[in-house]
Every structure is written in C-alpha cells, then in structure tokens.
Structure 1
Amino acid sequence: QRSDHLAVVAAYNGWVAARAAGGRGAGGDFARQHFVSEQVLEAIAKGRLDYAATLAARGFLSDWYVSHLRTLQQRGPAAADCGSSSTPGADVYGGSAVACGAPDEYSHNARIVKAAICAGFYPRILRVEAPTKYQAVAGGAMRVEADPSSIKFFERGLGRVWLHPASVCFKAGSYTSGWLVFTQLVETSRPFVREASMVPLYALLAFGGELEVLHEQGLLLLDGWAKFKAPARVGVLIKHLRAAVAQLLAAKVAEPSLQLAGQRVVEALHALLATDGF
C-alpha cells in the first residue's frame, strides 16, 4: 500500500488482538517482537477514545460508538461483535467494527483511509519523480519498477527531500499516483521524511487547497503548484462536489442532529474515493 501510516494501523491492531487473546503480557510480547513501543500503542488507544468522545460531543458519532470502541480496545474484536456472521476479523484496517456498519463502514478501504490522512495533513505533500523503465519481453516491452535510489521527491517549500530508510516506502520502486502525503519530516544532513503514504489522486483534488481549472491546457492546478492532466469537466465536477461537501458540513455544525449517513453527497464522495475514479 506504500504507507507508513497503514503499517502503524496494522501494528496497532495486531497488538490489540494479542492483548485480547492473551492479556497484557501477550500485548507486551507482541510489542517487543515487532520492535514497537507499547507506551506509544497505549497512547494511540487513549487518543482514539478521546477523539471519538470529542466527535460524539459534536454530533458526528453516537455515544454507542464510543462505548463500542472502548469495549473493542479492552476486550478484543470478539467482545465487540455486533452479531454478524461475516465479521472480518482479519481486516487490519477496521476489525469487527466494519460488521457494525456506520462510522467504520469504510475503514477497511485503504484508499479512503489514506484520503482521510490527506485531508488532515494537506498541504504536507510530496511530488514524486520516477524514471520510466522498461524490460524487453516476448513481443514487446513491459514497464517495470525503477531503482528506488533513482526516485526523487519534492516538497513545495523545501524543494527536494529524501525518504528516511526507516520508511516502508524507502525501497519502493513505483508510485502509481505520483504523490505522497507525509506527517513527519526531520532535518539532519538532509531533509528526511519519516512517515509517508502514497495518496490517491482524487483525495488530493477533493481535500487539497484552491483548485483551478485550466480549460485550454487540459490541466487542473492545485494551490498553484500541483498539476494534474485531466479534462476540464473533471475539474468542474470536483469543484461542485467540494462545494456541496462544505455546505453539508456547515449544516452539520449548525445542526448536530443532522444525519450524514445516506446523504447523496456523502455517498458520491465515498464512491469516488473508494475507487479513485475507476
């Protein structure tokens, strides 16, 4: 998935599952075996509950969900099962909460999870420049991954930056979308990005900054920097969708009891992000 953030999610869910199966000792063993800090995992668990409670207080989540999340963290997926026979226990993104629907219905979809990361951390994005490489095969040529060391990354303000060797993206030889969102950058001998995820194109267009449609050039321009080749019609539709989402969120803030689930705008946004337009 080209994502440090989803790797953290997998580690966290593995730790929760280990504790549910064997108690706190098993959770500690899992953390040591996978070289992760149990203190950090505990902090993540607390942060999830605090954030869910904040959203519930503002009408974006139900009190039931907060209770459900607390049970899931304390007793494991089996205890939080909603009675569905299709609980995706092996799902590293959502656990059994997916079977309960509602807030976690799309938590198993990596594109939507990364779209949420993009929405939260934009404009911390990187442009990827990768050389095109082909390998001769019978009857023609096949595109193959480039040498990871030949791939360059650019941040709008800093210019070229480098992926830290600790990133799961460090050895990747291709990036389908050509863009990364990052959450941590450190400067030592060079500016190094430690936590990054390849971000779907439509997530950038939906949650990025000012979107300009260059009709004659067939380009979309995001914040005067990020360029996307696309028909003008795509840009116009995205701008309409963004306006509709903003209007719906404003209505939700004004009236917390307003239900977002099932709204046509929300369903359209989900469909776009879940498939990245395909």
Structure 2
Amino acid sequence: MMVAYRKWVKILHEGIHAAERFCDSKFMSSSVMRTISDLRIEFGTLLADIGLINLRKSKTEERRKENLDVWFSDRTQPFNMYSQEPEVVKAVLCVGLCPNIAEGLVNRLAKPEKQTQRYAVWHDGRREVHIHPTSINKTCKAFQYPFLVFLEKVESKKIVNLRDTTIVSPFSILLFGGSVDVQHHSGSVTIDGWLKLAAPAQTAVLFKELQLTLHSILKDLIRNPEKSGIVHNEVVKSMVHLLIQEGKTATRMN
C-alpha cells in the first residue's frame, strides 16, 4: 500500500484524471487515496503541535495543505529517515495495531520445501481466523513470515475474516508485539500471553531489555517533547539495524 500511495502521489502531479486512471487500473479507490493523504497531513500536524517533530516556521508561509504535504514528503527530514525501509514501516504498523496479531497455522510435522509458505488458516490467540477475501494477501502464494497484524475483524457465516492485513517479522513481534515472557529451559518466548516463538534465552532476554529501554525512552520523550532527536538514539538505531538485517537475511534465504 505504501508503494501504491507513493506512485499515486507522483501521478497526481500529472492531473486528477491521470491519478483516477491509475487507481482504476490497480482496483483502488481514488477517494481512499485522498483520505490517506488528508489523514497523513492531520497526523503530522498533530505530532508537530505536541513538539515531536519540527515544522518549518515562517511568518510568510501559512500552514497550507499543499505546503504541509511537501514538507512531510521531504526525505531529508529526520522523521523520514527510515521511511524507505519496508521492514521499519511494517514494524511501526506492528506497534500501532498491536494486539491485533495472528499466527499462520501449518502442519508442523511436514518439512516445508521453501522458507516461504502459504497459510490458509490463521489464529489470533482465541480462535481460527482467515484473511478477508478482498485482501491482496488472500491471493498471495507464499508469505515471508507466519505473522500478521490486522486492522479489524469481520464475522460472516461463522467465519472470522481479517481486514487490512500486513505480514510482520519475528523481530517486530519480539520488540513490539506485547509483553515478553522468556522460558529459559525450553528455549522459547511467549508474546502477549499466547504467541509462542522459538528463541534462545539469551536472545529473548536481549529483546526484552530492548523493549523495556524503548519504553523508557518514549516516556521521557513524552515528558520532554523538545528532545525529539529519537532517531539518533543509539538504542533506536540498534533496533532499526536489527529489523533491516532481518529483512535482508530473509530475502537471501528465499
């Protein structure tokens, strides 16, 4: 969706009709894309109002929608430092949508032929769920990871479907999926009380400490928003590095 939005913004410069034709060719809604653009500006403005990001202040330049859109798209701004890294963007979605997490169910006795697999059935910690038929992920032949986050559930004919889904990585789950309970003897970790991942105790403890440290950093940032250089924080940079390297490793294996 992020890639589609960027292409839509680029084509929008050619005119509204060109943007509408692009949406029609990709089975997307022009009104939805405009709504995303408006919400993006609204969210960025709120972050600026509370001091978490710095907007350019000028007496001669009003906060017009066009100016804000250009400003928020500026890749040289600190808040856009990792905007081109899919692994980081997906991790942010994991933060925002948690605890809406589901795990792909497979026959664990069967050895997969490839690192990527297709999951027809998912589990959200309480029951069996499915990806909504209208979702792009429904027709995906294979997934890089067996975890996804979702925006909402829709129940129809006793089947629970998940809408607006995004596949997320194990590192994202470990860092942002909820409380971390390390089982030292079994070499596993339980996330948010139900989701189990295999992980050496030393690795699991490291991620738990990173999670706690990040919470402390964010609390301090909320108390002192003027200290908004979080992207340069060494702990945050370490987390970003882990996420990016995980993505590269998974790509090589597939």
Compute the TM-score of the two structures, normalised by the length of structure 2: 0.84
> How much does 1:11 deviate?
2.4
Q: Is the 8 A contact 2:88 2:240 kept in 1?
A: yes
Q: 1:3 — aligned with what? A: none
CA distance in 2, matches of 1:58, 1:106: 21
Percent of residue pairs identical: 26
Given candidates 19, 23, 34, the residue that maps to 2:15 is 23
Q: 1:65-214 alignment to 2 at 5 Å?
A: 70-71=66-67, 73=69, 97-98=74-75, 100-131=76-107, 132=110, 142-143=113-114, 148=118, 151-157=120-126, 159-189=127-157, 190-214=159-183
Given candidates 201, 220, 224, the residue that maps to 2:189 is 220
Q: Is the 8 A contact 1:111 1:273 kept in 2?
A: yes
CA distance in 2, matches of 1:237, 1:145: 26
CA distance in 1, matches of 2:63, 2:190: 43
CA distance in 2, matches of 1:58, 1:105: 20
Q: 2:212 — aligned with what? A: 243
Q: Is the 8 A contact 1:130 1:174 kept in 2?
A: no
Q: Deviations over 1:30-73 (max 9, x none)?
A: 22333322221111111000100111112221113997994484
Given candidates 215, 230, 239, the residue that maps to 2:199 is 230
CA distance in 2, matches of 1:133, 1:144: 10
Q: Is the 8 A contact 1:28 1:38 kept in 2?
A: yes
Q: 1:88 — aligned with what? A: none
> How much does 1:273 deviate?
1.9
Q: Structure 1 residues 173, 271: closer, same or farther in 2, change over 3 A?
A: same
Q: 2:40 — aligned with what? A: 48
CA distance in 2, matches of 1:64, 1:105: 17
Q: Deviations over 1:153-199 (max 9, x none)?
A: 11113x11112222222233433321111113211121112321111
Q: Is the 8 A contact 1:119 1:207 kept in 2?
A: yes
| Aligned residue type for 2:165 | A
Q: Structure 1 residues 275, 255: closer, same or farther in 2, change over 3 A?
A: same
Pairs aligned (count): 240
CA distance in 2, matches of 1:217, 1:244: 25
Cα root mean square deviation, aligned: 2.7
CA distance in 1, matches of 2:63, 2:82: 19
Q: Is the 8 A contact 2:151 2:165 kept in 1?
A: yes
1:268 aligns with 2:238: yes
> How much does 1:10 deviate?
2.4
| Aligned residue type for 1:180 | L
CA distance in 1, matches of 2:63, 2:183: 48
Compute the TM-score of the two structures, normalised by the length of structure 1: 0.77
Q: 1:83 — aligned with what? A: none
Q: Deviations over 1:108-138 (max 9, x none)?
A: 111111101110011111111234466xxxx
SS in 1 for 2:128: strand
SS in 1 for 2:231: coil
Q: Structure 1 residues 106, 144: closer, same or farther in 2, change over 3 A?
A: closer
SS in 2 for 1:162: strand
SS in 1 for 2:232: coil
Q: Deviations over 1:85-105 (max 9, x none)?
A: xxxxxxxxx9x733x151112
Q: Is the 8 A contact 1:260 1:266 kept in 2?
A: yes
SS in 2 for 1:170: helix
| Aligned residue type for 2:233 | Q
SS in 2 for 1:63: coil
Q: Structure 1 residues 58, 197: closer, same or farther in 2, change over 3 A?
A: same
Q: Structure 1 residues 33, 174: closer, same or farther in 2, change over 3 A?
A: closer
